[in-house]
Amino acid sequence: MSDWMINRLISQGREMEQQILRRDPAVYAGVDAQLEQHFLTPGQRLSPPGVANVMLLLICLTLGLAGTMGLLADIALAVTGSASAATLLGSGAIMAVWMTLVLFHLVQGKNTGVVLLKYYLGMLAALLVGAVAAWAANITGIANGLMLLCACIGGIIFSNRAVFYLYVAYFRTRRRVFLKRRWQMEAMHNPR
What is the dihedral sign for C-alpha 17, 168, 111, 178? Answer: positive
Give the chain's end-to-end CA distance (angstroms, integer): 51
Q: Which residues, at least 6 apart from 9, have a Cβ–Cβ distance to it below 8 Å?
A: 114, 163, 164, 167
pLDDT in tens, the chain (192 residues): 567 766 777 777 667 656 655 654 443 344 355 445 444 444 444 444 466 777 888 888 899 999 998 888 888 888 888 777 787 788 888 888 888 888 888 777 777 888 888 889 899 999 999 999 999 999 888 998 999 999 999 888 888 777 777 776 676 666 666 666 666 667 677 766
Q: Are 159 and 61 in contact (CB under 8 A)?
A: no
